[in-house]
Amino acid sequence: MAKIRTISGTIDSQDVGWTLSHEHLVSGMGGMDRIGLYNEEEALRRCDDALNVAHKAQIQTIIDCTPVDLGRQVSAFKKLSSSSPINIVAATGLYRWVPLSYYSWDPDTVAQFFQREIEDGIEGTNIHAGIIKIAWDIEYSSTVGGANSLQSQLEKCARGAARASKRSGVPITCHTRAVDRVGIRLLDIFEEEEIDLAAVTIGHTNDSTEIDYVLELARRGANVGLDRFTKNMNEEELIRRSEIALALIEAGYAEQTSLGHDSAAYSVNRGPASGGPRIEDADCWLPVPGFEIPWLLSKGVGQDSIDAMMVKSIQRTFESAQAMKS
């Protein structure tokens, strides 16, 4: 058993219930609330709607993978902390573009900065981050600039995340560009930093079409995040992604597989051309409980395997992380 920090306080890992491993309540950019890009009243209404819809579909916990530079709003967390029917785990860490402020820091300074939000709270509140998020996308392939290239900065911040994980006892979740197979390099770095790969989720892995890559991540002991599964995908694509979950279950890795959507209740990223937030979508966290799980059951997957993915895999990441600290 491990303690998990949520925006409403600490819960035991045995109480997480069905968990979506990678979602966003509110997303956008850091500072968006100060420049007229963010409407909190509307954001809270949309979060309430989406949380209630997900709760009716048996979801009990959501991991919000939104660090500050992706528009995390701690004031929204404060308000949702008493009204949400679902446990919400908040993230520290970094999104894709390493801010220049971090460029001269060493990995330990990066770690200390992440640890503050875990151990002291976020922005002076008593809301503590419960997970560390990092993001390796197309920027990771940028090697221009030598020691200051985005690639080397992202690698340094991954080392910082590993050290913060070990010191604070919280897991790491990674946004990855799966088609570039960057999860392998991430696991190499985490191994060099001597952390337990069971505390690491390599996310967005169902963007990959290469099952050997997906299975390799699991074989090395990591948690595999199949956490891109959205309403705007056609049925053929949803089935293709569900087949990856099936392959992991059949290979014996259900307890190392987590499901999610990477969907936001309120986001100003990729909104309409005329500006403002994305279109309303209170069902954004339904495709996993509403499509993928029924599809897997229809293929003969047992309820125990579903619970392994929805509950045990999440418990494993938090419990493995906490064990590193103690």
Residues interacting with Zn ion, by CB under 5 A? 65, 262
Cα separation of the two ends of the chain: 12
Min CB(22)–Zn ion separation in Å: 5
Per-residue CA distances from 323 to 60, 116, 165, 222, 286 (Å) = 24, 20, 11, 15, 33
C-alpha radius of gyration, the chain, whole number: 18
Cα–Cα distance, 37 to 143 (Å, whole number): 33
Nearer Cβ to Zn ion (117/227): 227
Min CB(262)–Zn ion separation in Å: 4
Tokens representing residue 241 in the block: 């992604």
Cα–Cα distance, 313 to 50 (Å, whole number): 24
Nearer Cβ to Zn ion (65/76): 65
Nearer Cβ to Zn ion (117/262): 262
**Closest to 160 in 3D by CA, of 195, 98, 112:** 112
Nearer Cβ to Zn ion (91/306): 91
Nearer Cβ to Zn ion (233/251): 233
Q: What is the DSSP string of 152-195?
A: HHHHHHHHHHHHHHHHHT--EEEEE-GGGTHHHHHHHHHHHTT-
**Contact (CB, 8 A) for 308 and 254:** yes
Min CB(18)–Zn ion separation in Å: 19
Q: What are phi and psi of 140, to 5 degrees?
A: -65, -25
Min CB(253)–Zn ion separation in Å: 22
Q: Which residue's C-beta sits nearest to Zn ion?
A: 262
Nearer Cβ to Zn ion (262/319): 262
Min CB(325)–Zn ion separation in Å: 26
Nearer Cβ to Zn ion (93/289): 93
Which residue is it, tokens 């967390």? 77
Q: How far is CA 280 from the centre of its chain?
A: 22
Beta bridge partners of 314: none
Min CB(24)–Zn ion separation in Å: 6
Nearer Cβ to Zn ion (2/65): 65
Min CB(70)–Zn ion separation in Å: 8
SS3 content of the chain, % helix, strand, coil (to 5): 50, 15, 35
Min CB(260)–Zn ion separation in Å: 9
